[in-house]
Amino acid sequence: MTRSVIAGTGGYLPVRALTNDELAEAYGLDTSDAWISERTGIRRRHMAAPGETTADMAAAAAREALAQAGADAAEVDAIILATATPDSAFPSTATRVQEKLGIRQGFSFDISAACTGFIYALGVADSMIRTGHCRSALVIGAEAFTRILDWTDRGTCVLFGDGAGAVLLRAEGGEGDRGILSTHLHSDGRHGDILQVEGGLVRMAGREVFRHAVAKLASAVDEALAANGLAQADVQWLVPHQANRRIIDAMGRKLGLPAERVVVTVDRHANTSAASIPLALAEATRDGRVARGDLVLMEAIGGGLTWGAALARF
């Protein structure tokens, strides 16, 4: 049976980083480091440079994933890129990345599922590999999210940052147990108005999103474990979407995981939407925390509403 194995991970963060105080100062916000960090865990975020595109950041993350996998561009036959901040409606950001990486074969397209985008992209890529549409796929989450923030709305503009993360999936046959075990995707369009882009800018009913987040993520996690006959105790790493420290901690507690088994970047990256999970994965593989053979649970919720979970053995 063909499985998709995560052969490499990569991440990219723009050079410019602003602390909460620096952000407040730069945008004249009536807020404080204490308010932001106590409610969200966010202490700083990165911001793309003028002219730095979503595709630029995505290509940088993809290059690291290829290098870590010991792969070159000629091996890649699909690019599936999740973003809520594409550089244009078309060409897709994925085809721009294809061009930047010098890839001349295969196919590429974008996925729109807001903060759940990476889980969706992983699910689609895994299905396409299993069914023989491609042998390898770059799965990317990339966002220039600070470009769609309303800098007069302190309830949203302090929460987000820019960046990109990528994994290279490779088809592998045989009896091994490495690879994506399963992905679980959900959406409910009735709740579209609690987190949306309206007139080009993000609007959010924070408390409503919070309420949905904890319940829906818990049910997606239970579904992923049950589908694989696994127990909470089998999970070695939780790599959650990085929206808010309180949501992350609630999921860690639900799984009974000690804090050091939950990969957290929200303090330094803020919420990078579709990029947050692959950025966290890249960090945790780079520093040796997530190692070959480890069972990793990923989960996310975002605008749509969309939500989902994925289980992978590295």
Contact set with ligand ACO (CB under 6 A)? 31, 35-36, 39-40, 115, 154-155, 158-159, 195, 204, 206-207, 209-210, 213, 243-244, 271, 301-302
Q: Which residue out of 46, 191, 241, 269 is catalytically annotated?
A: 241
CB closer to ligand ACO, 36 vs 57: 36
What's the CA gap between 90 and 30, in Å, rounded? 37
Cα R_g (the chain), whole angstroms: 18
Tell me which DSSP letter residue 171 carries: E
Q: State in angstroms the smallest separation of the CB of 228 from ligand ACO.
A: 25
CB closer to ligand ACO, 213 vs 312: 213
Contact 307, 278 (CB under 8 A): no
Q: Are strands 295-302 and 237-240 parallel, antiparallel or unpaired?
A: parallel
What's the CA gap between 242 and 165, in Å, rounded? 13
Q: Is 181 helix (H, G, I), strand (E, B) or coil?
A: strand
What's the CA gap between 242 and 220, in Å, rounded? 16
Contact 281, 258 (CB under 8 A): no
115 is catalytic: yes
The residue sitting closest to ligand ACO, measured at its beta carbon, is 206
**What residue type is assigned to position 202 of the chain?**
V
Q: How many CB atoms lie within 10 A of CB 187?
A: 18
241 is catalytic: yes
Q: Which residue out of 20, 46, 115, 244 is catalytically annotated?
A: 115
Backbone angles phi, psi at 171, to 5 degrees: -70, 135
CB closer to ligand ACO, 7 vs 221: 221
- 151: Cβ contacts below 8 Å, ≥ 6 apart: 27, 29, 157
Q: State in angstroms the smallest separation of the CB of 220 from ligand ACO.
A: 13
User: Torsion over CA of 44, 46, 47 and 53, rounded to 10 degrees?
Assistant: -160
CB closer to ligand ACO, 123 vs 302: 302
What's the CA gap between 80 and 70, in Å, rounded? 20
191 is catalytic: no
Which residues are known to be catalytic?
115, 241, 271
